[in-house]
Homo-oligomer: A and B are copies of this chain.
């Protein structure tokens, strides 16, 4: 008998409506029927991105959209800023280097977020910087960047601001137009509750001008091709048809709830999860100044084998959490609470986490985690649930 409670920060669990939509007999993509799906998806994404900008669909994982941002905005030799506070911030640096750009890297302690003034100092020193790449929610550490504060700084310069919203978007607020963010990217398999395979790039006029001038070699991720296809409600290459059709459903759900309520619900779940960890005597890895609604990163307590914890939860109990990546391997575990995860899923996950922690010899008051989560959910004023 199998059970599969997926509490990982990507892929996330998928609602039944989405499974149903994706299981409908597949249709061809060059048809008015599919064009309607694309129209619905673009409109829905514009609502979540809080933008009137064009949004391009790419058939790739999130990294494909990151590559599109780098190889379309930066020409070889161009200078940029990247922020390394975790595995995905490092990816911006790797991409910049791969495409011949010259990144000035801001190193941030894992678990903390970059401060706008750090970016401001470098931009003031160096007027040649063309782009600033940041990560809304750094999935590897659960740290949330204050995108608005960074946008306030970058907007006043000639540089464009590119935000990786792969993990953060649809879980935390990001007002692309109001805050003046130039490029926002995201993907299907996190806050959008779908399988991986579809990514999106939203581009404003300032960024569009850079794209036209960029000299990097590119084809599949060439956003000039995307722009041309977008004008005809099309994609330049065969799209991930079933995920697009599933995305219509996700976006309907988000729209129906309303963005404010949607974010509040994710914050509500985060609150309960963190209350539970505290009651179990566990500490949060991420700095209290930069907690994301998307997931919670928890320090593995002394005496507990972090990798064995994840393995036992998954292989014996059917509850999948994420462990730590790279330098955090074995040191943290991560619980996702974005997308369609409910209070019930989290209570179930916490119950089984308690059981396995007890088996592994960790001392705590049994049931304290579940009680704390339930109390927090009951008393929470931020989200009455969806």
Contacts and interface: CB of A to CB of B under 8 A. Distances in A.
Interface of A: 4, 6, 8, 10-11, 13-14, 19, 22-23, 25-29, 31-32, 59-64, 67, 71, 76, 94-95, 98-100, 189, 195-198, 216-222, 237-243, 314-315, 320, 322
Given A60-B60, A61-B238, 8 more contacts: A19-B23, A31-B320, A32-B315, A98-B217, A195-B243, A197-B197, A197-B198, A240-B240
Given A25-B13, A60-B60, A217 B320 contact: no
Contact of A196 (B25, B62, B238, B322): B238
26 contacts: A4-B27, A6-B25, A6-B26, A11-B29, A13-B26, A14-B25, A22-B242, A23-B23, A29-B196, A31-B314, A59-B59, A59-B60, A59-B196, A60-B64, A64-B220, A67-B219, A67-B220, A71-B217, A76-B217, A98-B217, A98-B218, A98-B219, A197-B197, A197-B243, A217-B217, A240-B240
Contacts of A197: 59, 197-198, 240, 242-243
A241 B189 CA distance: 10
A219 B65 CA distance: 12
Main secondary structure of the interface of A (DSSP, over half): loop
A189 B29 CA distance: 12
B14 A219 contact: no
The 9 nearest A-B residue pairs measured at CB = A197-B240, A195-B242, A197-B197, A61-B238, A98-B219, A63-B237, A4-B25, A196-B238, A67-B220
B60 A196 contact: no
A22 B6 CA distance: 16
A218 B19 CA distance: 34
Nearest to A219: B98
A241 B196 contact: yes
B99 A238 contact: no
Given A26-B6, A26-B14, A94 B217 contact: no
A60 B237 CA distance: 9
Nearest to A311: B32
Nearest to A10: B238
A283 to B, nearest CB: 25
Contacts of A19: 23
A192 to B, nearest CB: 13
Given A217-B98, A239-B61, A320 B195 contact: no
Contacts of A95: 219
Contacts of A6: 25-28
A320 B34 CA distance: 13
Contacts of A222: 98
* Most B CB within 10 A of own CB, among A8, A195, A221: A195
A195 B26 contact: yes
Contacts of A219: 63, 67, 94-95, 98-99
A82 B253 CA distance: 47
A98 B314 CA distance: 45
Contacts of A26: 6, 11, 13-14, 195
B195 A240 contact: yes
A120 B63 CA distance: 40
Contact of A241 (B63, B98, B195, B240): B195
Nearest to A25: B4
B25 A100 contact: no
